[in-house]
A = this chain, B = another copy of it.
Amino acid sequence: MADPLDSDIRPGEITTALPQAHDAGVYFIGHIRTPWTSRRDCPRRGAEDGPECRIELDPRWARVLTGIEAHPRIQVLYWMHLSRRDLVLQAPGHGSTLIGTFALRSPVRPNPIASSVVRLERVEGTTLIVRGLDCVDGTPVVDIKPERTVHAAET
């Protein structure tokens, strides 16, 4: 269900017909718990001194986290499930200038995948406690990676 904040179109904004079929599928590996229950409450940008948020992964991924504690900062890819996907030109900041979706970090985009680098505070089972997120409570997660490559020859 789209939040009204996301589904509104501002004057001049342009939509497009999306492709008829998806090209690939993603699994939601878990969900993010934050203090913000609607998009209107979310901070504009996550801060590393912001509140703790919880990335609760499905227990099936328990072993997939092995070694994550070694990384003080991790990259989180999540799916902005409340955002419409069909906006071509947007009017950020309620200004009159129209800017293309790919020239913005707006959540409204054809593939609503967000990327945030956050501080990993601790791991509790299959839950990661982090600081630095800014998304709405209940947002699905699609990937967790260390911020940087560490191993000499990964894969």
| A side interface size, CB within 8 A | 66
Contact of A26 with B61 in the complex, beta carbons under 8 Å = no
- The answer for the CA separation of A14 and B65 in the assembled complex, in Å, is 13
What copy number does this chain have within its complex?
A: 2
Contact with B along A122-155 (1 / 0, CB 8 A): 0000000000000000001011111011011111
Q: Which residues from chain B contact A152 at a C-beta distance below 8 Å? A: 92-93
Q: Which residues from chain B contact A107 at a C-beta distance below 8 Å? A: 155
Interface residues of A (CB under 8 A from B): 6, 14, 16, 18-19, 21-29, 44-45, 60-61, 63-68, 70-71, 75, 77, 79, 81, 88-90, 92-95, 98-111, 113, 115, 140, 142-146, 148-149, 151-155
- The answer for the CA separation of A18 and B25 in the assembled complex, in Å, is 12
Contact of B110 with A65 in the complex, beta carbons under 8 Å = no
Q: Which residues from chain B contact A148 at a C-beta distance below 8 Å? A: 105
Contact of B151 with A104 in the complex, beta carbons under 8 Å = yes
